[in-house]
Structure 1
Amino acid sequence: MKQPDMPAFERPAGMTTQEYVFERLRQAIMVGAFKPGTSLTIRGLADILDSSPTPVREALRQLTSVGALHLLENRRIVVPRTTPARFEELISLRIALESHAARRAVMHLSELQIDQLVVLDDAIEAAISVGDKAGALIANQEFHRRIYMANPAQLAMPMIESLWLQLGPLLGIAMEHVAEFYLVDRHQEAIEALRQRDEEAVARAIDADIREGVGGLDGGAIERLLKLTG
């Protein structure tokens, strides 16, 4: 299989090989390192990740179970292609779940945590300015994750991350080929609303951030992007 352009990943102390392989592949899919339609092989990924086949096999099983990968009838594992209708459904679910998660997290975020969101937003802009598309996507996901995870009773994050995984391959193409894709975000509005403890304003900012970012791609744009993958 062709060597993917996987983002750097710092392995924490104590992380098992199984955990490392899963997290590395999950992050790579989320930032579009694997294009839609790409076939993945256990041996090829094991070579790339300097791992034995067993952790790779288990990671692929887990990623298939959450819809990030598809297992075909001939047992091939592929990165799924996205149709305009499926894309619209994924975006609608993102808006519903993330607006809810943001609204419920507002009262749990400390001023220090909000200040850390400002740092993350600056990191997104810095990554974009130097053409680090994967870095921008990783920082953007962490920005959203920090908000939603502030709620100690949250249940939505696994579902949200499943949606990020399913959208990741198309996001990678969009970041490469749509110049205007990440010029506007609503993070500053979300940060200000968080400081004001305004739940509805935070939810509106997250809604707009998704709609005007990846959600701004229409059916025609999606089809054109998918053609670039062959």
Structure 2
Amino acid sequence: MSTKVIKLPEHQAIYHRIRNLILFGTLVPGQAVTIQGLADLIGAGMTPVREAIRRLTAEGALEAGGNRRVRVPPITRENLDEISYVRLAIEPRLTELAARRMTDGCLSELHAFDREVDAAIASGDIERYLEFNYRFHFRLYDQAEAQILSKIVSSLWLQVGPSLRIVCGRYGTANLPDKHSETLAALHEGDAARAAQAIADDIRQGLGQVRLTLLD
């Protein structure tokens, strides 16, 4: 597993901190927060926080409200249908591309992340599950070296991540989707199509739970 640490510029670090609050569901759908409150929450100045908010609003992760407030947009059935369609088109493709470029080093990292996911599921640690599930998927997608596709997927995860936190809160971690073992087995065998299918099944399960929790 790589131990290299890259220090981000302050504005980038603040963007990622706010992004993670959204991605891992600390800010829940529909929750409004003042810009000042968000700055206080992460201990940052107003200027870089405003810049981060502008970026995240452009990515669809936040929306502006009155009185200098922003909120995570609630997900709708139509939103979820579109997100499902695009994720199921792109993420299996990224998996196929990654499988063709797979290395022992990448597999080692994926196994390490999957162990963290399994430990989080066993212990009921929602935050740990969300973080390492994300790390597993995006380490895999990074291996594809398809920046345009990865950027699209990253935006979609931002839009659905807060809702997955609600799923975890309702059902706990025991019934969360986890097709990582099947994905890893296929990657070890060099079976790109089977790895892509496992990721597609993982996505369907996760988004299906979001639909049942929030929309039905």
TM-score scaled by length of structure 1:
0.85
Please state if 1:216 is matched with 2:208. Answer: yes
Aligned partner of 1:58 in structure 2 is 51
Note the residue ranges of structure 1 that are not aligned, 5 or more in a row.
1-11, 225-230
Give the structure 1 partner of residue 35 of structure 2. 42
Count how many residue pairs are aligned between Structure 1 and Structure 2: 212
Change (3 A) 1:206 1:93: same
2:91 corresponding residue in structure 1: 98
**SS of residue matched to 2:164:** helix
**Is the CA contact 2:122–2:174 (under 8 Å) kept in the aligned structure 1?**
no
Supply the distance in 1 between the matched residues of 2:131 and 2:175 (Cα, whole angstroms): 13
Q: How far 1:40 sits from its partner (Å)?
A: 2.3
Are 1:166 and 2:159 matched, yes or no?
yes
Unmatched tracts of structure 2, length 5 or more: none
Query: Identity over the aligned pairs, expressed in percent?
Result: 34
8 Å contact kept, 1:32–1:170: yes
Q: Does 1:113 align with 2:106?
A: yes
Q: Deviations over 1:171-197 (max 9, x none)?
A: 111111124674441111111111111
> Aligned partners of 2:93 and 2:6: how far apart in 1?
34
Deviates more, 1:54-63 or 1:186-195: 186-195
1:83–1:223: 8 Å Cα contact kept in structure 2? Answer: yes
Shift in Å at residue 148 of structure 1? 1.1
Q: Which has the higher helix share?
A: 2
The 10-residue stretch of structure 1 (55-64 or 44-53) with the greater mean CA deviation from structure 2: 44-53
Alignment-derived partner of residue 20 in structure 2: 27
Aligned to 1:5: none
Name the TM-score, length of structure 2 as normaliser: 0.90
Q: Aligned Cα RMSD in Å? A: 2.0
Between the aligned partners of 2:211 and 2:18, the Cα distance in structure 1 is 28
* Residues 23 and 112 (structure 1), Cα distance of their counterparts in 2 relative to 1, 3 Å cut: same
Runs of 4 or more, structure 1, over 6 Å off, are none
TM-superposed CA distance for 1:144, in Å, is 0.8
Aligned pairs for 1:71-82 within 5 A: 71-72=64-65, 76-82=69-75
Q: Is the 8 A contact 1:185 1:209 kept in 2?
A: yes
- Rounded Cα–Cα distance in structure 1 between residues aligned with 2:37 and 2:67: 18
Distance 1:83 1:152, change over 3 A: closer
